[in-house]
Structure formats: structure tokens, C-alpha cells
Amino acid sequence: MGRDQQIGIYDVEKSVGSIPGTEIRSLFNSRRLLTVVLFAAFLPVVITSSFFYYTTPDASTAAMLFFHKPKGGKNVPSFISATSSSNTGVEPSNGDTEITTDTNQEESSRNSPEPEATDEDVERTIETSVDVENSTSLGVNDSKPHEETTLEENTSSIVMKRQGPTNTANSSKRGHQNCMKNGRPDTGFMYWKWQPQQCDLPRIDAQAFLIAMRNRSMTFAGDSIARNQFQSLLCILSQVEVPDHTYNAPDDRDNIYVFRTYDFTVAIYWSPYLVHVEDKDITWPDNKTQSVAHIHVDKLDRAWTDRISGVDILQISTGQWWFKRGLFLKGNKPMGGHICDGWKECEKEIGFADPYRLAIHSLLKNSLSIPGYTGTTILRSFAPDHFEGGAWDSGGRCVRTTPGGVSISSLTNWMYEIQTEEFQNVTGAMSESEKQRIKLLDITNLAQIRADGHPDVYMKFQPFSKEMKQPPQKDCLHWCLPGPIDTWNDLLVESLHDKIHNY
């Protein structure tokens, strides 16, 4: 524990020497009894507590090769919810989180390749962030309110400890997540490390991972946050070998890289809803037209399903795009819409929560039966934003330089609960063999604590320079690289321990 969290149990004061012997014994016995009671009371907390610690760039690190750990040992994080039994529920991560980097990281992060993000994509995704105060109009059920929780309720203690950092990189010339290159003045966000409960989470050993994944492939499907995680993994692995960029879509949203020495392919496919979407023009009462998403909640998006035949690991994620205006369909028939506002085709306002639940259910139930796909599916849980003082377009910013301080919102809780409940519902009805092929990467609570890990104005190069012709955009949705999102990949790789290495 840190100095501020230490609990001292003190001896009887020396002055008791003047107290008669029987009173001394009585006092001593009372103090001893009190000590035993306090110890018994605090022991479960000490055993089960999880905490942050701060790493320094001059510290050394012991090698952590997860590949050499015994299968099923205590070092496997319990918060990665792979259901091996229908009686096993989904356990939330309770706010655990990490960040690390090392002395060689900052230099190497400027030399490794990374796919470039587009301004249009980043800004478009930021626009999907919504004000929690408007959660009722967004389809959140008032009958099931969620109280906001603070950092103190999610973590038992925050301590300082010396340890070496994670190896990650971001060197894109236009990289929106390269906060250091873009001029962010503080560096502390790179050195916070998460210590999970009752176990240790190893950082990715890039070479060991590439060896284990020889002749295999991994695919990410989702929005720009999925790409943010893809970039993190790509940069970590690029420390071992610079991959070939074998495919780059014209809009930069689909990318494929191959590590030739290991014949390992990693890809990212743009699919912000993961289900089939048709953009159609609608006409408002004032005769103005607008393109609006028509979302088929029971049909998977062929933009990724047609490309995963033979893929070994598939991670899917979807979240913020569901907050946008849309019409929802099931069985090709309209169910209702979100933000109808006089749109005549949208006959019923139903919000996004129920359609989102149906889509998550469909994704989990049907992903394992996609033709040609026999791999493992991972659903990554909802990633929160940290706008404070307003929304993305009303002065909201994320200027914190240490973890914590921002309460988890009702909306984030709601999205997270939909995902975890449907994961449990779907996997509870699966066979044992099917359960071995599906997992939940639970990052919501640990990501919530990392309000310090976003680019804010540093999604732009030198945002306060004289050359900037307009106020810089604030990005409190995506994550700096190096940064907290690297931990998501540590969790991902550790959860796949039994899948990518045979014992």
C-alpha cells in the first residue's frame, strides 16, 4: 500500500506502566482482542484488493512470458469472462485498470509503423458521444436507474510502485493518438500500471506472441475505437518485426498487415454497428433530405462476416454509433426508430436500448456459425468517454493527468449491462464446445478510471500553435498511444492463453 493508505496498529502507550497490574493485563487483553478483530476484518480486503501503481521509466522489469505459465493457474485474470459452465456468471472488472511504458518505449514509439487514422473518422465517432443528462431520450429505461459511482467505489487503494513499462508505439505522421508527438506536455499517463485482484497480468511479450501465432490470423471488427486497439497491438508487435501493409482501403478504414517471418495476419474491418446497415435518404416536414441509417438488428454485416473464413481470433465491438438517429428493422420489418422528430417513416420512437440488445444477442448467437469460421469470438465491452464540462461540441474536455475522478455514467452502465446480460443469456444456452469458442473482454470499468488517457486537443499536431486556424477538436473518446488501451491487449492476449498455445 502507499503511504497514504497504510493502516497502523500501535502498541499500548508506555504510560500504562503506571497503571496497576490487573488493569494493565485487562487493557492489554482488550487491545490484543481489538487487534485480532481488526486484523480479521481487514484480511479479506487485503487479500481481494486491487490497485493502481505508478511505474517509473528508470525501473527494471522481470520477464513475464505468459506462454510458460501453467494452464488454468491463478495468473489468469478472472475478469476475462470465458464461460466454461452455464453456472458461471459474468463478473465485472470492478474498476481495475493499468498503464505502463518503459525507457525504450518513447524512442521506439517514434520509429514503428502504424496505420493512419482520418480526421473524418475520428470526428465522426466523437460526434456519437452523448450527454448523460439526455439518457432518457436516448432510450434508457427509467424503470432501471443506475447510480453513478466514483473511483473510490471501484478500487480499494491506489499505491505507488516502481516497475518497468510496456513496449508500445505510435508514429503515424497524422496519428490522432500520438499524443506525445502532437505536443501533450505531461507523460504520467504512460506510467500508471494496473494490478488485478489475486493475480498478475503480464504484458505482451511480442516475440513469444508472434511465435505462438505462427501461421494464424486475428481480425478486429468495429468502429474507430476497435481500430484504436488494433493500432495498439500492431505497434507492440512491430517492435519485433515491421509488418507488410498488404491491404489499405481507399478510406483507410479496412487494413491488413502480415508479419512475414511468422506468417501471422492481423486485420481491421470497419463495421460500427456490426449488423447490416443501409443508409437511406429521408425527407423532413420542411422538405429537407438527410441520410439516415436503417439498421437490421438480426442480420450480421457482411463487411466483416464475408472476410473471416479461416480466421483464428475474432474480436468484435460496437457501442457509440447506436446513439445516432436511426430506424431499426427485424425480419426486414420496421420496429421503430431513435430520434424520430417528425420523420414520417419512423412511426414509433423506441430508443436504441432494445434494438442494441437484440443486435448483441444476434451477434453472440450467430457469430460461431458463420460459414468457414471456426475460430474464437471475443466481444469487447463498452468503452466509455470522459468529456467533462460539456459534450464534444459544447466545450467538453478531458484534461486530467492522473486516473480517476470521473463518475461512471448511467449510459455507460446501461450499455455495459446490456452486453454482459446478453453474453450470459446466450452462452448459458450453448453447448460446452461452443462455450470454449466465445469470450467477453471486460474493459468498461477499468477504462472508466483512465480519464487521463485521452488525446483531448492533442489529437491535432501542436494544437495551440499560431498555424492553427480554428480551435482544436477535443477527443475524449479515443486513447493516446502509448496509453490505457495497451492494457486491453494485455488482457486479450492473456485470455487467449489456452487458444494460442497448446500444452
Active site positions, annotated: 224, 475, 478
Residue 107, φ and ψ in degrees, nearest 5:
-70, -45
Q: How crowded is residue 234: how many other Cβ atoms within 10 Å of its Cβ?
A: 27
Indicate the angle between helix axes 410-428 and 353-366, nearest 10 degrees.
30
CB–CB of 165/189 below 8 Å? no
Q: How many CA atoms lie within 13 A of 254 on its CB side?
A: 9
For residue 329, give the H/E element and its range.
Answer: strand 326-330
What distance, in Å, lies between the first and last C-alpha atoms of the chain? Answer: 36
Nearest residue to 212 via CA among 66, 380, 310 = 66
Question: Cα–Cα distance between 176 and 378 in angstroms, integer?
Answer: 26
Cα–Cα distance between 477 and 456 in angstroms, integer?
Answer: 9
Instruction: Give me the DSSP letters along 93-162.
Output: -TT-------TTHHHHTTTS--PPPPHHHHHHHHTT---GGGTTTTT--TTS----B-HHHH-SEE----
Within the chain, how many helices (H) and strands (E) appear? 13, 15
Cis-peptide, bond into residue 185, ω within 30° of zero: no
Alpha carbon distance 452, 399 (integer Å): 7
Q: Collapsing DSSP states into helix, strand and coil, what is residue 363?
A: helix
**Residue 179: which of 238, 101, 245 has the closest Cα?**
101
Radius of gyration of the chain (CA): 25
